[in-house]
Structures are given as structure tokens and as C-alpha cells.
Amino acid sequence: MLYEVPKVRQFHESPETEHIVDWADLFFDLTYVAAAFQLGKMFISEVSWLAAFKFAVVALCLHDAWRFKTLHDSTFCATDVVHKLLDIIYMCSVASAAVFIQPNSAMENMNTSYAFGLSLSLAVNVAVLGVEKLEIYVRSKVLCARKYVEIEFFDNVLPRLFMYAAASGYSGVLLYRSRDEDKAPDREWTYIVLLLLGSHVMGALLPLLLLWAQAVPGTLFINCTVSPFRFLTTFFSFAIFLQCQPSIYPGITNILQIAMELG
Amino acid sequence: MLGESVLSIILNPVEDDWIYYCSFFTALVIAQVIQLTHYSSEEFDPSNHALSRDVLAGRLWLELMAVFSIALNALGAGLQLLLTR
């Protein structure tokens, strides 16, 4: 079939059934193994606490790419052509991110496109996931499925999309500016890592703290908290982060300036 | 990530030295023991799993899996470092 709305695999009250792993899942797992291998090479390229921190943040980004896709595929079933194509784009973005993971000495050099490529791949990755969530929200007639993807979208997709896009913009600006220079400042890669880490602070820790504060017993898929509040928290955190860190992020004006130069 | 550890151990230039072989097999045993420990403590019954217990347990399990995954990745890289130096 060319297109159909993804179906819910398992309702909470219905008897548990085992999710059969198909060959495509096994094939896609190879991409993550290769990405983990690249991460290992990055880790051993420099033995220091700062390098270990950068490794942990990039590993967290890739782990999230695996985790959210696995959770989504375990919750919704879609075997049509359009969703297979979306899966291919998703895996291409993971493979692309893996390719751009290089030793820290190479990542720090802003004349290369490694940091930009990694950030952009992660942004595309989350964007594809966001499209899948939005599609279910718009097309599905199952109320709990719509509520679930709504929570997922505001909790996991939107904060990460903001931060990965910010990291892409920042590294893209640096790449554009340093193309004619001999050597770019070393600390910029650390700032990009901090931007990537920001996505986890807002996308993972914040909802976790909210849940802890509310301490509402329930289930992962049914229990709903106040999504607009989460959205506002995420949005304002991002805005505050941008405004308070002018030395880290060059700001929208720089991007507009470069766009005008290119124009 | 355990697969990455095994890859990191195997995809190294072999040195014709007994210390290298000792390190190589020790690294493999470490990876195997971690695999056994992980799967023997894993909950396979969906109704008892943290994801279906409550929302906080599920969320914590998800976040701790990320930490576990990064630690496994670091272990694989560390074993590779051990074998190459």
C-alpha cells in the first residue's frame, strides 16, 4: 500500500502481545553499531575529562535517535511505502551523523564541516521524527494515540529540534566565517557540544523533574500532564538560553547578515 | 552497544605478543560477562517491566538506559585503547 495511517500496536487494557522484530529493524541496528564504533574512535582520540564529556553528549544524542525511533515503532505500526521512505531518510540521517563523528582534533577545526554536519544530521533526524508524530496527531482517530504523540512531541521532539537547529545554525555560521582562515578558535566545538547538551536538559531532565514534582502514579502512555505548560517552559528556556549567551550563540542577526551577503 | 565492544576488540591490528593475546581474551571475557549480567537482570515480562509499572519508573528506566549505553560504548573504546597501547 502506498499510504495508510499508522495503527496502534497495543492498547493499554488489551492483553500483551509480543512485538516481532522484522529484518528491517535488524538491518537498521547495524547503522547504530557503526555509529557507536565511530564514537569509540572519537573517545580514544583524546584522553581527558573534557573529551569524555563531549563523547558522552554526542553518544547521548545518538542514543536518543535510537531510543525515540524504537519507542515510536514499538507503539505504532506502519508498513506502507511512504513510511518506509521516511524510515530510510531517518536512517540516512543517523548514518550521516555517524560519518561526521571524528576525533576531537578534527571536530574542533571549524574549517571542516564535521560539527556542522553532525548538528544538521541530528536536526534532520529529529525533524523526521516530528513529522511522524504530527502525522499521527493529525490523521489518527484514536484519542489516546493523539494524546501520546502530543506529549512526545512537546517533551522530546520540540526541545531537541530547537537545540539541534541552534547548533546547526551556530556551526554553519562558524563554517562560513572560518573558510578563509587558517585556524578557528578551539573552544567553538565545546560550545556546540553545550548546545547539544541543552537539548537533553530541556528534553529529558525538565519533563522528568516535572513528573517528579507532580508524582502522579499512572502509565507511561495514558497519563497526561499539562502539555502547553511544557511547551512554554521549553520555548522560554530556549529563548532565555539564546539571549543570555551572546558569546556562545551569534544570534539570529548574524544568520540574517550572512543570508543578505549570500543574496 | 555490546556489539560495538566486540567490534572494538576484534578490529585491531594483531601484535605477535603473549601480552596482547592475554589482553585480547580478557577483553572478550569482560564483554561476555557484561552481556550475561545485563540479560540475566533484564525483565522480559511486559507486565513487570518498568515501562508498564508507572510513569516515573518508566521515565527513569529510559534515562538510565542512556547512561548504561554510554558506559558500554566507553567500555568498548577503553578496551580498544587497552589493546592498541
Q: What percent of chain A has pLDDT over 70?
A: 71
What is the number of residues in chain A? Answer: 263
Q: Which chain A residue has the Cα nearest residue B58?
A: A220
Query: pLDDT-based confidence at A85, cuts 50/70/90?
Result: very high
C-alpha cell at A208: 522528568
User: Å from B51 to nearest chain A CA?
Assistant: 7
**Burial classification of residue B41, based on how many CB atoms lie within 10 Å of its CB (0-12 exposed, 13-18 middle, 19 or more buried):** exposed
Query: pLDDT-based confidence at A108, cuts 50/70/90?
Result: confident
State residue A219's pLDDT score. Answer: 40
How many domains are there within chain B? Answer: 1
User: Å from B16 to nearest chain A CA?
Assistant: 23
Q: Tell me the C-alpha distance between A202 and A160, whole Å.
A: 8
State residue A224's pLDDT score. Answer: 45
> Cβ contact (<8 Å) for B66 and A217?
no
> Cβ contact (<8 Å) for A33 and B62?
no
The string over A132-158, giving b where at least 16 C-beta atoms fall within 10 Å of a residue's C-beta and e elsewhere, is bbebbbeebeeeebbbbbbbbbbbbbb
Question: What does the pLDDT look like over B19-54, one tens digit per residue?
Answer: 888 888 998 899 889 888 888 888 888 778 888 787
Contacts of B51 in chain A (CB under 8 A): 220
Which range has the worst mean pLDDT, B48-52, B70-74, B77-81?
Answer: B48-52
User: Å from A222 to nearest chain B CA?
Assistant: 9
> Cβ contact (<8 Å) for B74 and A43?
yes
Instruction: Name the strand (E) or helix (H) holding A12.
Output: none
Contacts of A40 in chain B (CB under 8 A): 4, 8, 73, 76-77, 80
**How distant, in Å, are the alpha carbons of A95, A129, B27, B83 from that of B7?**
17, 29, 11, 12
Query: What is chain A's mean pLDDT, rounded?
Result: 77
Q: Which chain A residue has the Cα nearest residue B69?
A: A63
Query: Do A83 and A89 form a contact (C-beta atoms < 8 A)?
Result: no
> Cβ contact (<8 Å) for A56 and B70?
yes
Q: Is the dihedral of CA B65, B71, B76, B79 positive or negative?
A: negative
Structural domain that includes position B77? 2-84
Contacts of B58 in chain A (CB under 8 A): 219-220
Q: How many CB pairs under 8 A join A and B?
A: 81
> Cβ contact (<8 Å) for B77 and A208?
no
**Burial classification of residue A180, based on how many CB atoms lie within 10 Å of its CB (0-12 exposed, 13-18 middle, 19 or more buried):** exposed
